[in-house]
Amino acid sequence: MNKGFFARALTNKHEYFLSFAPGRIEFLGNHLDYNGGTVLGMAVNAGISCLGIPANDTLITMTSEGLEDAVLLGQINCIEKQTGKYKWANYPLGVLQELQKRNLAPTKGFHLYYTSNLPTAVGLSSSAALELATAVTLLQLAGKEVSPGTLASICRDAENKFVGMPCGILDQGTSAFGKNNSLVKIDCREETYESVDLPQNTQAWIFDTGIKHDLVDSLYSVRHQECKDALSIIQDKGSDITCLSMIEKEVLKDADLKEKLFKRATHVCDEQARVNQFCKGLESGMPPESLGKLLQESHQSSSQYFENSCEELDYLAGLLNGHRNVHGARLTGGGFGGAVMAWTQDLFNATEAQAISDEFQKRFDRKSRFYRFLPSNGARKETL
């Protein structure tokens, strides 16, 4: 948190509300969330802080530290979708609108100030962190409280309905329920959450391909639609499953889907099995080196069946999965660019990460930026 930026915003003002929401790494369960599956997310030790100062009128302003000249001005009862340099404000504005629908929003104006130590566009879901941080601050401004589950749904609805991105609950759920040294296990059909302990000293590394993926414009929505299409064909054939992640291998074989939809459904079916195996394995104390194989398989499946990988992601995953100190590595998040995550304990270090990045540079003539994260606590109120 940049305290200096917040202190400047607070000159001569005394009343404030502060919050922090972490980014997340999708640990396992690629594209399962909107298919009603169970996914594993890890909240990271970096995120977005949001300072809220009440106003006496109905004016609202939103200022991001990185974009100091881009202060969005608006009125509390006139929420309009933004374009161009204010596009980032659609996430907080969407949250405000969802809170208003539920009578949970402040009724007077306010000023919001944001700082972030979360790298953007590398699959850490800065958008969910922005939504959650905004929601926790706005709720304080309104004098209201909600459960972490409601917080996650409000923010997911903001992204689906206002931003227009048909994402599932993985990002917001993980940012809401994160816990030190644990994964967040989300049953996306029931929207229920559990913490799953990780082996000691777990670390997760992010290696960025440098390919920027703007989810709103990417093939994400196409994949979402393909999964829906596969489900409705399977249902038309008499199956009573209500979401694609419930599909069983035998039913899938008999469903007679065309190749593309068959591949998508195969990924969803197998990925769900891997998540289940991973959770059982963790509980029964299976060694991380063996469990990591499931992450490797997940990457293969995303690449071959879900077809949301690319050459750079495959190359990084290949290097990392071949490294003796990496338990498993896979593309994380939407895909089509973005980043690979690698699960390690303390044996893997920055020198080894640098060597991976150097190999990447030899092949693609640009660096792969990398970051190390620890599993951390979820969205919360803060003080200065």
The catalytic residues are 171
**Site size toward ligand GLA, by CB under 6 A:** 12
Question: What is the rounded distance in angstroms from the CA atom of residue 354 to the CA atom of residue 364?
Answer: 15
Q: Give the interface segment with ligand GLA, choosing from 28-36, 205-213, 236-244, 353-361 (CB under 6 A).
A: 28-36
Q: Which is nearer to ligand GLA, 63 or 174 (CB)?
A: 174
Question: What is the rounded distance in angstroms from the CA atom of residue 104 to the CA atom of residue 96?
Answer: 9
For residue 265, the minimal CB distance to ligand GLA (Å) is 15
- The closest alpha carbon to 244, from 221, 220, 261, 222, belongs to 261
Binding mask 118-137 for ligand GLA (x = CB under 6 A): -------x------------
For residue 316, the minimal CB distance to ligand GLA (Å) is 17
Q: Give the interface segment with ligand GLA, choosing from 2-10, 26-34, 147-155, 250-258 (CB under 6 A).
A: 26-34
Select the residue interacting with ligand GLA from 18, 33, 104, 130 (CB under 6 A).
33
Count how many residues are written for the chain.
Answer: 384
For residue 214, the minimal CB distance to ligand GLA (Å) is 12
Q: Which is nearer to ligand GLA, 129 or 142 (CB)?
A: 129
Segment 238-277, which members bind ligand GLA (CB under 6 A)? Answer: none
E strands, the chain, are 17-28, 38-54, 59-64, 72-75, 110-116, 182-187, 192-197, 203-208, 328-332, 339-344, 370-373, 380-382
- Asked whether 200 and 285 are in contact (CB, 8 A), the reply is no
| 26 near ligand GLA (CB under 6 A) | yes
Select the residue interacting with ligand GLA from 16, 27, 34, 348 (CB under 6 A).
34
Q: Phi, psi at residue 233, to the nearest 5°?
A: -65, -45
Select the residue interacting with ligand GLA from 46, 130, 170, 252 (CB under 6 A).
170
Q: Give the interface segment with ligand GLA, choosing from 27-35, 260-268, 282-290, 294-302 (CB under 6 A).
A: 27-35
Element of type H or E holding 357: helix 350-364
Q: Which is nearer to ligand GLA, 30 or 64 (CB)?
A: 30
Strand partners, 78: 75
Q: Which is nearer to ligand GLA, 291 or 339 (CB)?
A: 339
Q: Using N-to-C axis directions, what is the helix angle for 148-157 and 170-177, rounded to 10°?
A: 150
Who contacts 166 (Cβ-Cβ below 8 Å, separation ≥6)? 34, 160, 220, 221, 224
Q: Which is nearer to ligand GLA, 58 or 160 (CB)?
A: 160
Segment 328-347, which members bind ligand GLA (CB under 6 A)? Answer: 333-334
- Asked whether 77 and 129 are in contact (CB, 8 A), the reply is no
- The closest alpha carbon to 340, from 353, 324, 352, belongs to 353
Select the residue interacting with ligand GLA from 5, 19, 23, 31 (CB under 6 A).
31
Q: Which is nearer to ligand GLA, 92 or 123 (CB)?
A: 123
CB count in 10 Å sphere of residue 59: 14
Q: Phi, psi at residue 101, to the nearest 5°?
A: -60, -30
Q: Which is nearer to ligand GLA, 1 or 46 (CB)?
A: 46
Q: Give the interface segment with ligand GLA, choosing from 133-141, 165-173, 273-281, 286-294 (CB under 6 A).
A: 165-173
Question: What is the rounded distance in angstroms from the CA atom of residue 219 to the CA atom of residue 215?
Answer: 8
Interaction site with ligand GLA (CB under 6 A): 26, 30-31, 33-34, 125, 167-168, 170-171, 333-334
